[in-house]
A and B are shown apart, each in its own frame.
Chain A
């Protein structure tokens, strides 16, 4: 069915309007960021006097900005790798072994999904403080290495592995480690990619926990860092906006590159077509 020209024009008008509204806050941030050190910025910048120096000044006015970005990368990449490994190891027996208590462990992992992080944040803070882990990478990483969501996502992916494959692997005299690493991992790559993108986005964007366990500013992550730009000592608006856009860039990039993957993986569970 070919759409009528006026209908098509209406569709594009609707799409463009929606896209503009959604991008508006980001365009607004960009507009403010390039207006220089003014206390009364305008909504639309003067295009003859654009001043992108804020993107450089961010790093000069706040020497720790580069460190915060490094912290965020270290923490996000480590948590992502850790969640992939821990979830894969836990999902493997849950999906492919038959053992006494499998149902028990299944529900135990399910229970972990039922306990919201916000409900355990106080005892967790006390634990971290007691261990002397405040102001450290391990405080930002270790509590997040296991993910109930990850275990169920990978278990679901492993469940569809055909039985013949296991039997063939047994005949070849293939051990568990090799079977998991060289046969199963390539098979469930899409699910692993989904989990990786999800874990990275969520870890990079964490705010509450880093706010609690970090006292010294050199251990801050970017999310807590950018809110510091709004403090009273920096009165201008261009710096907080530039800092925010710099911090947004990695996650936007990850999303754009991995969008198709993420959508397929997430919706496999949510939508039973």
Chain B
């Protein structure tokens, strides 16, 4: 009924896919092409149209090539993003793995604990930001000035981010644990392996694909972080210490109306995330064929 022979124009298939194709074209593909175009021009602030060819000028500025008088503000933004990612991702994975191991026990009432461990999945970054901003507020005298000190501001935002990221990492790891065949643990136990050896020799190697999946998705998430910085800090941070890439993009676009520059930052963000996505496909292929 619905098998169009090869060579025919697939009108029916196109009709079904049309809404998605139109939406992606209008809100993803064309805007992305537009971002690339704008990133090569000086852009008129009123008409939003490209006004004068600027070549790779913005990219040179971001990567701090050539004119050093401008400082390394933008390169630093990329470095800050990496630092933030390094603070968030490993700790999220380790903590979530601990939670998943605890919650994989089949004991009475475990469902309640699992629900609690998953709960942060439903908590938005904005709500978490509002709660944690009070946590960090000087009037509470709990963590005075962590957000105004250049040394602690980024870790403070990272701590909040870890809390909101735990839920997703937890459910994925719990499912990964459940997928490990029971007889593998059983035979490890018969061989006289203790819990520690079993974890390192059996559980962890079998969880590697799941951990890699989470490593990449959490890294991509951390690279796109914006809301927590806007709600908790709402500036480049003490000594510019929390000016991550997407916040820098927001400032260039929203505060400074420097559309061409913001577009160039968008393209840089895309390139960084593309590398990560490609890494995921490579890992995926390698791990599953083992």
User: Which residue of chain A is the closest to B206 with respect to CB atoms?
Assistant: A273
Give the shortest distance, in Å, between A163 (CB) and chain B (any CB). Answer: 11
Partner of A271, one of B3, B119, B163, B172: B172
B119 cross-chain contacts in A, Cβ below 8 A: 22-23, 26, 252, 255
Question: B19 to A86, Cβ gap below 8 A?
Answer: yes
A114 in the interface, Cβ–Cβ < 8 Å?
A: yes
**B171 and A263 within 8 A (CB):** yes
Selecting from B61-69, B85-93, B126-134, B147-155, the interface stretch reads: B126-134
- Interface residues of B toward A: which range? 35 or more
Q: Is the CB of A120 within 8 A of B140?
A: no
Contact of B166 with A by CB under 8 A: yes
Q: Answer whether residue A188 sits at the interface, using C-beta atoms and an 8 A cutoff.
A: no
Whether A271 and B175, one on each chain, are in contact in the complex, defined by CB atoms closer than 8 angstroms, is: yes
Name the A residues within 8 Å of B267 (CB-CB). 119
Partner of B38 from the list A25, A40, A99, A123 (CB cut-off 8 Å) is: A123
Q: Are B32 and A97 in contact (CB under 8 A)?
A: no
Do the beta carbons of B1 and A170 come within 8 Å of each other? yes
Q: Once the chains bind, are A119 and B266 in contact (CB under 8 Å)?
A: yes
The answer to whether A99 touches B13, judged by C-beta atoms less than 8 angstroms apart, is yes
Check if A208 sits within 8 Å of B226, measured CB to CB: yes
B230 CB to nearest chain A CB (Å): 7
Give residues 69-120 of A contacting B (CB, 8 Å).
85-87, 89-90, 92-94, 96-102, 105, 108-109, 111-116, 118-120
Is the C-beta of A4 less than 8 angstroms from some C-beta in chain B?
no
Contacts known (A26-B131, A100-B7, A271-B176); A120 close to B230, Cβ less than 8 A: no
A229 in contact with B130 (CB, 8 Å): yes
A14 within 8 A of B: yes
Given known A89-B19, A271-B179, A271-B210, contact A23–B122 (CB-CB < 8 A): no
Q: Closest approach, in angstroms, between the C-beta of A251 and any C-beta of chain B?
A: 4
Q: B10 on the interface (CB 8 Å rule)?
A: yes
Q: Say whether, besides A25-B132, A248-B127, A119 and B122 are in contact (CB < 8 Å).
A: no
CA separation between A151 and B21, bound complex, in Å?
11
Q: Which secondary structure characterizes the binding site on chain B? A: helix
State how many angstroms separate the Cβ of A75 from the closest Cβ of chain B: 14
Q: How far is the CB of A194 from chain B (nearest CB, A)?
A: 12
Q: Is the CB of A120 within 8 A of B31?
A: yes
Shortest A238–chain B CB gap in Å is 10
Residues of chain B with a CB closer than 8 A to A145's CB? 19, 23
The reply to whether A255 and B131 contact each other, CB–CB distance below 8 Å, is: no
Please name 19 further chain A to chain B contacts, defined as beta carbons within 8 Å, in addition to the given A25-B132, A201-B121, sorted by A numbering: A15-B105, A18-B99, A22-B163, A26-B119, A39-B139, A43-B142, A97-B10, A99-B6, A100-B4, A101-B10, A115-B32, A119-B267, A120-B266, A122-B38, A123-B263, A237-B134, A266-B172, A271-B172, A271-B175
In the A-B complex, the 7 residue pairs with the closest CB atoms: A273-B179, A205-B124, A99-B10, A267-B175, A123-B31, A146-B23, A93-B13
A interface residues, Cβ below 8 angstroms from B: 3, 8, 11-12, 14-16, 18-19, 22-23, 25-26, 28-29, 32, 39-41, 43, 85-87, 89-90, 92-94, 96-102, 105, 108-109, 111-116, 118-127, 129-130, 142-143, 145-146, 148, 151, 166, 169-170, 176, 201, 204-205, 207-208, 211-212, 223-224, 226-227, 229-230, 237, 240-241, 243-244, 247-248, 251-252, 254-256, 259, 262-263, 266-267, 270-273
